[in-house]
Amino acid sequence: MIFHNRHDAGRKLSQMLLEYRDADDVIVLGLPRGGVPVAFEIAQKLQAPLDIFIVRKLGVPSQPELAMGAMASGNVLVLNKELISYLRISTNDIEAVARREALELERRESLYRQGHAALERENKTIILVDDGLATGASMQAAVNALKKQQPRKIVIAVPVSSKESCATLKKSVDEIVCLTTPADFQSVGAWYEDFTQTTDQEVCKLLERSHFEAA
């Protein structure tokens, strides 16, 4: 299954989540930046409030695109200890990357929220959305952080995922909804015709539109 773009993926994914439509306790959380357009379409279809949950990948110093872990709001850190050991990454290097990503996480919180408080998550059903799962490190960090806020139920919803990440994350949440887990998975972007990077401006616009429509 190939998606035209993130909005198309969100509309298709929302059809698998209709049991949560019009439920009073459901909140849709998008992982910025790429998860927000997907989450926006799901929130629209389910008539549910939309919010963000910020997670930052921790890239290997010599290969920034390779994730050695991730961090999420609430000072939650998830590390790939096997990879760190294999590449002999020092504690100092990990701490340096974590400090840098913590600053970016704070910047995004401030920019995206624009004065809006985070929605209350305690005793809520949370649908946690991203545009896809490769290693699953960012999503795992989000799940770990979210559990500290004591939701009633956590549902991961993604358009595409590697089979390994889907199987691993399934153990951490109440439910995982994924449209496709291709055997020849190489990257998330390979399953989109348009995988242009989502901008800060687009995230802000979608959140503001969601807040306006909910008012």
DSSP state of 133: B
pLDDT tens digits, residue range 42-96? 999 999 999 999 988 899 999 887 889 888 877 788 888 999 999 999 999 999 9
The answer to whether the beta carbons of residues 114 and 210 sit under 8 Å apart is no
Q: What is the mean pLDDT of residues 13-18?
A: 98
All domains in the chain, ordered by first residue: 6-54+114-214 (3.40.50.2020), 57-111 (no CATH)
Distances (CA, A) of 150 to 40, 129, 144: 23, 18, 11
End-to-end CA distance of the chain: give it in Å, rounded. Answer: 36
One-letter amino acid for residue 125 of the chain: T
Between CA 67 and CA 195 the distance in angstroms is 19
Strands annotated E in 31-110: 50-52, 55-60, 63-72, 76-79
pLDDT tens digits, residue range 141-171? 899 889 988 999 999 999 999 999 999 999 9
Q: Which of 18, 20, 36 is nearest to 125 (CA)?
A: 20
The answer to whether the beta carbons of residues 11 and 198 sit under 8 Å apart is no
pLDDT score of 214: 65
Residues in a beta bridge with 127: 28, 155
Confidence of residue 115 (pLDDT cuts 50, 70, 90): confident
Percent residues over pLDDT 90 in the chain: 76
Q: What is the mean pLDDT of residues 173-181?
A: 97
**What burial class does residue 30 get, using C-beta atoms within 10 Å of its C-beta: 0-12 exposed, 13-18 middle, 19+ buried?**
buried
